[in-house]
Structure 1
């Protein structure tokens, strides 16, 4: 995943050390695959794998919202080493095991028709990762990224808008907020996840997400495009859910400690902007200017790929 749009340092960055590029391409970490399991249920579209890596050969320090780099083996058609790929980390700094010695990724195998032959082309790195066997090593760089870091304020309102594997950093955020007992971060704010997926079997980490609903300060909304209809009778996409709840979302944005996080396919932010723009026009407010205010306040966080 490559970072786009907003990538400035958050206000909290000056209060904490942010690990950056501890491991580089010239000297990567040799991380060992501990787990590789399918996240898409029967009847779903494509394949998405949850991978857990042993990083104890490091250590590999990171914060929730950062990304890890993977160097796939082999060479391209020009004889050059394959390029580094970035993936959002899907676990907290303590890892799925809680001992700080693992890191998790959420990887969709990229596949698309060749524009000339029509044959299916598979992504180099995603196919490599999805096919990893337990015990195999990968070359890992990083961590990198500052745009998606959670604010230190434990009373903040966190709005998360995700499509597909864009759920990865939000899984880390939600574990940090609701699953771990962190003496340095006792979350007392509220969180709302709006998650866009094509079918019900494609709800990644569904059991975990729905379990978090036992917390009164967590709200979960799905936009299931091939099963649900929007107000106009078309497919329900994430921008339709934003438009549906835009009045409530706007009210939340009036709080000076509300943060919006957007992660997923590039272009998803356009529909979200359009929904807010249509609403704020009726208030006599230019959305582009207001969003710029949010960005300058380090409250509007985007990472699309």
Structure 2
């Protein structure tokens, strides 16, 4: 082989670098240039070169308490931040908050006994770890777990490891709080010492916040005794420094006005697109599919062609919302920041472990509009925290009472479904809350989260488009001063109205920055990413399926039936496809009525639609009643190894359907009901019974 001369080498290196740049779509270079390009493009909030050794990180930053979180929607992360803040302010702990996916765990056997780890763990779906906790969960519960100094469970390698645990769950799911239960069991098996009880919060019962508050006080008591801590008067110590930059123009191309990372800021959004880096997708079609004026249900077609995003039938699409202008105005006004809304601010952590939740520099308006969950329910603990900054002593006394008395908090806040700005507006009676540091808002209001919707289209039929089916949330609470509005669905409604040139404004004065930061979403675009799901059709199209989906719970089943109709047209052998759908009235909210007829033409007697119109008759009829009426056919299909699917409300419908199915199996097969329940559990375990439900 001839030797390469200098020019050859230069050319080859140039080609190599060009290839890397092309195939990574520039993300490698983005990592080197900007930590926000890195974190949001690649799905990790860690900075390039950051250590994955938690003990090294704690030692370098002088920490003796780490609060790990496993979070899917941001709630567990919020509780973790609150624990860390309280541990620091009340007990003098040197705390840090840590994303579970950012660290390795094989050296936890070296965790010294003068430090403590806290775990705040949400359970996702059917007993699964959240996306950011998968690696940790698989490691700590693995059969062959091995630590840095060797030794498995028999040697109790975590004998010096002290930990605290709190779980976030939903009792309407079969595997209630299984994440915290399984992790706690694994840590105990490995020799870890839990401080206090393992707490469990229940979102299904609506008691999550109170469960957390009642758990943490005895936990702190146990921890102060174990670590010989001394409680002190809690004094607010900011985790972030917020500096106003009056010399900077908000239109400066270095200022983030809602862009999630530097790629978006520079107008060259690149993939991979994921939960940290959205694709700004065009909405190519949108329509109203209810036939009644006082309720809205949207059907939208979102184009993901050219993004390299892919989905399979049954997946979810995540929509990144923006807060309504009315609520942004309220928030800034009540804090006395309205006149400074476009003031440029720089935000940085005062601690090397503090993670700024949005890019900086930015403006007050952009931070509140695009990044802060200002319309979220208010926590009693947060009310107590901001009471010290009240405009006067009488308001402070009222805030203190609301924050300390559970029943009073329910009466004044939670029963009225107030967000934090609405509460401050009511209590302030015209007074501005100017004393509250903006850093406290950054710490106390968690980052606005994408909302997930079951994709209502088949990837087999339309691989470059995802369909969304969503009821627009707008609820009037008797006696409440405000109408409760869904953040994302009303944003989508505004997009649909603009697309159709609808001149009718929202009756409650909501408006949105529809064109996005610097008008980059003009032309009806929405930020999205795809989340893959285990809610899937059988791999064999000839397998029978039974689907139960009232309301917009029918969304993934539209996709399932759409796919099977296309398969039938292509000559494939398609199994019986039975759908139980329910709504209020046939003439008002029977969504996709005409489409079901089209699918029936393609599938013939292989498709059966059973409908329940709850308010059309003298008695209310729901899908579970219709399920009983078709008990024999349902049982026959199950005995043919048919798959059973449920989508919709977890608290009532899904639970009742589960019970009814066990009764059907027991009755039809002449066995005790307890045996029917065991069969349903076995179906769940084998994925023959699948749920896509929400509370």
Q: TM-score, normalised by structure 1?
A: 0.84
Residue equivalent to 2:321: 72
Find the partner of 2:291 among 25, 38, 41. 41
Find the partner of 1:159 among 537, 546, 555. 546
Contact 2:471 2:552 in 1 (8 A): yes
Q: CA 1:187/1:175 → structure 2, altered by over 3 Å: closer, same or farther? A: farther
For the pair 1:92 / 2:458, whether they are aligned, the reply is yes
- C-alpha displacement at 1:247, in angstroms? 2.4
Residue equivalent to 1:277: 662
Residue equivalent to 1:263: 647
Q: CA 1:118/1:279 → structure 2, altered by over 3 Å: closer, same or farther? A: farther
- SS, match of residue 628 in structure 2: helix
Q: Take 2:290 and 2:565, find their aligned partners in 1: how far apart are those partners?
A: 24
Contact 1:76 1:82 in 2 (8 A): yes
- C-alpha displacement at 1:204, in angstroms? 1.0
- C-alpha displacement at 1:145, in angstroms? 1.1
Q: CA 1:76/1:88 → structure 2, altered by over 3 Å: closer, same or farther? A: same
Residue equivalent to 2:633: 248
Equivalences, count: 282
Residue equivalent to 1:175: 562
Q: CA 1:173/1:7 → structure 2, altered by over 3 Å: closer, same or farther? A: farther
Mark the runs of 5 or more structure 2 residues left unpaired by the alignment. 1-72, 74-123, 130-270, 323-368, 375-440, 500-522
- C-alpha displacement at 1:182, in angstroms? 7.9
For the pair 1:5 / 2:5, whether they are aligned, the reply is no
Relative to total residues, which structure has the larger strand share, 1 or 2?
Answer: 1
Q: Take 2:128 and 2:578, find their aligned partners in 1: how far apart are those partners?
A: 22
Q: Take 2:301 and 2:589, find their aligned partners in 1: how far apart are those partners?
A: 20
Deviations along 1:261-301, whole A, 9 cap, x unmatched? 11111231222123233344442242220111111221101
Relative to total residues, which structure has the larger helix share, 1 or 2?
Answer: 2
- C-alpha displacement at 1:115, in angstroms? 7.1
Contact 1:22 1:141 in 2 (8 A): no
Deviations along 1:49-100, whole A, 9 cap, x unmatched? 10011112412211111101111123332565421110001111156xx4x3
Q: Take 1:24 and 1:108, find their aligned partners in 2: how far apart are those partners?
A: 25
**In angstroms, what is the RMSD of aligned CA positions?**
2.6
Find the partner of 2:308 among 15, 40, 59. 59
Residue equivalent to 1:144: 532
- C-alpha displacement at 1:116, in angstroms? 6.0
Find the partner of 1:129 among 483, 492, 502. 492
Higher relative contact order (CA 8 A, sep 6+): 1
Q: Take 1:76 and 1:58, find their aligned partners in 2: how far apart are those partners?
A: 27
Residue equivalent to 1:287: 676
Query: Which one has a bigger Cα radius of gyration?
Result: 2
Mark the runs of 5 or more structure 1 residues left unpaired by the alignment. 9-20
